[in-house]
Structure 1
Amino acid sequence: MKQRRLNKSQSTASFFDLVETDSGWIGLEVTGQGVRRVTLPAHNRDAVLAEFGIEEKDITHDAGGAGLADRLKHFFMGEPVVFQEGLDLSGATTFQQEVYEAACRIPFGETRSYGELAKAIGKPGSARAVGQALGANPIPILIPCHRVVAADGGMGGFSGGINTKKKLLEMEKSGKKNPSV
């Protein structure tokens, strides 16, 4: 499997795109360093534009490349997808970058606990800090923070809400699209 490029240096200008999936509209922010930000599905384009603080005229179609748009569409149809796009993590701390790299190694349809992720990065006992790092994840889905759960099997937290996290995990486990994510 190709190693994912995680760029940690300062980024350049941003380009924006919107992708329509079975679950709604997703926004992409891409720099010369890689994907900087991804939104979770919204019911309409305007919600994504508002989340990014941009206008329709700011959209650069295929900012993330047609391949990324296609992979996102397939992901929300419940298909196993491996995202290998470069990621612009210039705004993340070193600890966050370590957590994100570990989360990217969790396969489609599987979960790990916050504690397991903490051990994977060599910091056992830092499960709470791992959760906080994942809560700040600017690139959900590509950095699959929804695949990290509590040690007792509970959902833990998720920036898009617990119901969205449950639906994403159910979709991955069943292989069936879930348009209500």
Structure 2
Amino acid sequence: MNAPALAHRNVASPLGELLLVATATGLVRVAFNGEGFAAVLDTVARTLGVEDVGGREGAGAAGQHLETAARQLAEYVAGERCDIEVPLDRSLSRGFRGQVQAQLQTIPYGTTVTYRQLAEAVGRPAAVRAVGTACATNPLPIVMPCHRVVRSDGGLGGYLGGLETKRFLLELEATAAHPA
């Protein structure tokens, strides 16, 4: 069986430069600049068994997924879109973490839930810390909106892109006229 081909693209945003990585199945990774893009690409390639990361833009389905994701992310951060609707490759989300990360997509735009509420939603009310870990290791931040998960005391908690990024995203969603 052949390993999936990877395509990647850097995009500018108000959150800083983002790295988008896709396979023919869909978008597989979104990374913030502080993560180190070369390290992210290496980890994704190793995890998926890809020997050659391929071209920056990619061709075929992977390239189309990158184009769609880049356009929709730009619309989202401009307050023009509330859902990012691009095919996803969930190969990096498995087990309990995968369950939590899938549940993130049920949190409505402009709202938040607590880590405890998310743990309850996945049927593991005592797994609050594990839910936090699942959010912290979310391979598709913004797309699977872990920024919408906050602490029970109202604090932001952590965020891979930094607390300023999390604050920006929450404020964007709170103030944006609910786009179509």
TM over 0.5: yes
Q: TM-score range by the shorter chain?
A: 0.7 to 0.9
Q: CA RMSD in A?
A: 2.6
Deviations 1:32-87 (A, max 9, x none): 221110123x49xxx64575359xx8302545243322110011112332122222
1:39 aligns with 2:31: yes
Deviations 1:107-157 (A, max 9, x none): 111111011111111111211110001111111110111110011111111
Relative distance call for 1:92 and 1:67 in structure 2 (3 A) is: closer
TM-score normalised by length of structure 2: 0.78
TM-score normalised by length of structure 1: 0.77
Name the CA distance, whole Å, in 2 between partners of 1:58 and 1:69: 16
Alpha-carbon contact 1:111-1:148 (below 8 Å) kept? yes
Runs of at least 5 residues in structure 2 that lack an aligned partner in the other structure: 46-53
Alpha-carbon contact 1:27-1:38 (below 8 Å) kept? yes
Corresponding residue of 2:169: 168
More helix per residue: 2
Runs of at least 5 residues in structure 1 that lack an aligned partner in the other structure: 1-9, 177-181
- Sequence identity, in percent? 35
Relative distance call for 1:18 and 1:95 in structure 2 (3 A) is: same
Corresponding residue of 2:13: 21
Secondary structure of 1:133 counterpart:
helix
Alpha-carbon contact 1:27-1:39 (below 8 Å) kept? yes
| Corresponding residue pairs, total | 161
More strand per residue: 1
Written as runs of structure 1 = structure 2, the 5 A alignment for 1:5-84 is 12-40=4-32, 42=33, 48=37, 51-52=40-41, 58-60=55-57, 62-84=63-85
